[in-house]
A and B are shown apart, each in its own frame.
Chain A
């Protein structure tokens, strides 16, 4: 048995995660060939590194298959209902920043805010006989956001990629997507609605409350905490 730390298995997110831990005295490295999803934590007893797709990490945290995991706030909040009871936010890591935003065509000069979007949804339904379509893969977060504001007469249509193209393709009227610079949105002649974004996301170290925290895992968490110079047990271990 050991404490399992889940880390994104590729790309910049993995590199930056390794850097982040490295700067705090914890050295993660891939073992074996570059293609293998095996890794290790140098010099720490009882900690094993698991490389996973970033999208799988929230569910593995929620079900307790891993003890600690690095992923975006957006994925945790979208995928895990009631996440606060199962997952604890240990640290925001300061990279992977991205906002989940609602965007509409720039030519919609009459739309700046959610207030406008709601009015346009009513108009659109009256004119076209169906509800204004918002393309997204973040159904839960977008629904909660629109509901809190009282937007009506819209529908969410699923888009798992190339979301910003759905408007020109006439399969949606607005989109909700993750953006860090807004570059793709601008290139597609879209603008972000004013006001707070649906969610501000960044790479975050989470801990699972549902994982099996036995003697070895507890000791490993405390050891990890002392190397990194912070108490990591708060909200995770409760005696």
Chain B
């Protein structure tokens, strides 16, 4: 059995503990419409979630997590503030050769409360920590909001900033773009040739000479991108000092208070960081007043970049000290932007986390 009775007992215990703290119990269908998840996560979700076909409802997915259905439910008819708890199986494809399970129990806690984001972040983190208390775990925290703040403050075009922000979750592509925008890598050769051609002929003439316009993407769209390419080729590089700040953030691995200190230094060169850093300082204070030993927290500047791309602020994970190769025993973060995408115009600040109950049960069993 992938999910054992021992796993279920631990999940039930965790859920009870969350309900005792006043969370509302919620549930979600196992079958979720694939379209929503594909639009959010892109094609990669097909390779992580099980897709099945229904002749009436179209493509369905075995729920890969609860966050999306819980957010949808809340956006449809939830009152603010709200605290939800749930427990149930989620389903993920795993790579050949890994020992990670294809179905496992998640127990989750989601907080929709915009009154004090720092306090809400700290609440979710400390609730998770309390539930995991007897185990020896290492906690890592990060903040995607700091990366976003850094990008927004770069002295460059909005287009370049948007391109970087879009690829925060794809580190290799992010690196390629940063090297190009920072002037370390030259513009692709074909672009220079194209822009040179544009100085002699109009976009319309170039398109017409190349071949018939076919399909949904029309000539105006092609011309608009040619404009963008011309602008980009003629854009000055992002100042080297600012590129270095971005790289320093990505390299940062320190205890949380030291990381904040270091980031404050970096903000001298990139003042757009200041509001995000004030947020981080408030969060550390709030964590402290929840009884979390912040001096022992590890801050990792890249944390959360390789997970599914909906966390856009605080992120955290708890790892077994003796078995660091395992998936995190618990993880979570802030996902304000997701509520906006799913809320059809409305948005609610939200933060949440999950515990892998089966992993916790196995670790407890090994104690």
A contact set with B: CB distance below 8 Å:
81-82, 85, 105-110, 112-113, 115, 118-120, 122-124, 127-128, 131, 139-140, 143, 146-156, 167-168, 170, 172-173, 189, 194
Q: Mark B206-219, 1 if CB is under 8 A from A, else 0.
A: 11101111111101
A147 CA to B163 CA, complexed, in Å? 17
Contact of B211 with A170 in the complex, beta carbons under 8 Å: no
B39 CB–A CB distance under 8 Å: yes
- Give chain B residues whose Cβ lies under 8 Å from the Cβ of A131: 38-39, 42
Name which of B43-51, B75-83, B149-157, B249-257 contacts chain A: B43-51
B222 CB–A CB distance under 8 Å: yes
Query: Which B residues, 62 to 110, have Cβ-Cβ distances below 8 Å to chain A?
Result: 96-97
- Give chain A residues whose Cβ lies under 8 Å from the Cβ of B229: 110
Contact of A127 with B221 in the complex, beta carbons under 8 Å: yes
B345 CB–A CB distance under 8 Å: no
A173 CA to B172 CA, complexed, in Å? 25
- Give chain B residues whose Cβ lies under 8 Å from the Cβ of A119: 163, 225, 228
Contact of B43 with A154 in the complex, beta carbons under 8 Å: yes
Shortest CB–CB separation between residue B262 and chain A, in angstroms? 28
Task: Say whether, besides A120-B217, A189-B212, A109 and B207 are in contact (CB < 8 Å).
Answer: yes
B189 nearest CB neighbor, chain A only:
A112
- Give chain B residues whose Cβ lies under 8 Å from the Cβ of A167: 214-215
Shortest CB–CB separation between residue B174 and chain A, in angstroms? 8
Q: Mark B164-192, 1 if CB is under 8 A from A, else 0.
A: 00110010111010000000000010100
Q: A105-B214, A151-B173, A154-B43 given. 18 additional CB < 8 A pairs?
A: A82-B96, A106-B212, A108-B210, A109-B210, A110-B229, A115-B176, A115-B188, A119-B228, A122-B163, A122-B166, A143-B43, A147-B44, A150-B174, A152-B170, A156-B43, A167-B214, A173-B217, A189-B214
Cβ 8 A contact of A155, one of B38, B213, B221, B224? B38
Chain B contact residues (Cβ within 8 angstroms of A): what range? Answer: 35 or more
Cβ 8 A contact of B216, one of A109, A113, A153, A173? A173
Contact of B207 with A107 in the complex, beta carbons under 8 Å: yes
B contact set with A: CB distance below 8 Å:
38-39, 42-44, 46-47, 96-97, 162-163, 166-167, 170, 172-174, 176, 188, 190, 194, 206-208, 210-217, 219, 221-222, 224-226, 228-229
Most buried by B among A147, A152, A173, A189: A152
- Give chain B residues whose Cβ lies under 8 Å from the Cβ of A105: 211-215, 217
Cβ 8 A contact of B173, one of A81, A118, A124? A118
Contact of B221 with A123 in the complex, beta carbons under 8 Å: yes
A-B contact pairs, 19 of them (CB 8 A): A85-B96, A105-B212, A107-B210, A108-B222, A109-B207, A112-B190, A120-B217, A122-B162, A131-B38, A131-B39, A147-B44, A150-B167, A150-B176, A151-B173, A154-B43, A167-B214, A168-B214, A173-B216, A173-B217
Contact of A107 with B211 in the complex, beta carbons under 8 Å: yes
- Give chain A residues whose Cβ lies under 8 Å from the Cβ of B228: 119
- Give chain B residues whose Cβ lies under 8 Å from the Cβ of A85: 96-97
A156 CA to B47 CA, complexed, in Å? 12
Contact of A110 with B226 in the complex, beta carbons under 8 Å: yes
